């Protein structure tokens, strides 16, 4: 059973950098065919794809966020981390980490999500 758990601050001030880490258990983030994603849902809006990192370490970012987004991993800890710079209140929402399978549009495992509020 693959499990994912988000961790990080729930409150971030505008202009600061949001950093969230996803800890994966029950599966390796370097296993072939899988990718590891960050997805968010602002209040009253739908899910938004932020980006992902593949089993080889390659990254893919949403065009609307890529200038502010960095995803990297620590294979020794089986973790991957999201960094989103220069945050504004529009970055407020529930952030999820998730696993997907290459060549599939569906995600098979999700973290429980963590609320992030950007406010001064």
pLDDT at position 102 is: 86
Query: What is the β-pairing status of strands 18-25 and 79-84?
Result: antiparallel
pLDDT at position 84 is: 98
Compute the average pLDDT of residues 105-109: 89
pLDDT tens for 72-96 read 999 999 999 999 999 999 999 999 9
State how far Cα 59 lies from the chain centre: 12
Residue tagged 């009253």 (tokens) = 44
End-to-end CA distance of the chain: 39
pLDDT tens for 41-61 read 999 999 999 999 999 999 999
Query: What is the β-pairing status of strands 93-101 and 11-12?
Result: unpaired
Check whether 27 has a pLDDT greater than 80: yes
Confidence of residue 103 (pLDDT cuts 50, 70, 90): confident
Check whether 40 has a pLDDT greater than 80: yes
Residue 20 bridge partners (DSSP): 82
Check whether 106 has a pLDDT greater than 90: no
Buried-state track 25-60, b at ≥16 Cβ within 10 A, e below 16 = eebebeeeebbbbbbbeeeeeeeebbbbbbbeeebe
Residues 51 and 82: their CA atoms lie apart, in Å, by 9
């Amino acid at each position: 059973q693959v499990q994912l758990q988000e961790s990080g601050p729930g409150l971030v001030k505008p202009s600061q950098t949001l950093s969230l880490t996803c800890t994966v258990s029950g599966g390796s983030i370097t296993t072939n065919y899988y990718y590891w994603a960050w997805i968010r849902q602002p209040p009253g809006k739908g899910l938004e794809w932020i980006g992902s990192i593949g089993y080889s370490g390659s990254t893919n970012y949403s065009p609307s966020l890529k200038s502010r987004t960095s995803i990297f991993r620590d294979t020794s800890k089986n973790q991957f981390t999201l960094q989103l710079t220069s945050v504004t209140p529009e970055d407020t929402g529930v952030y999820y980490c998730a696993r997907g399978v290459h060549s599939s549009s569906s995600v098979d495992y999700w973290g429980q999500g963590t609320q992030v509020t950007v406010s001064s």
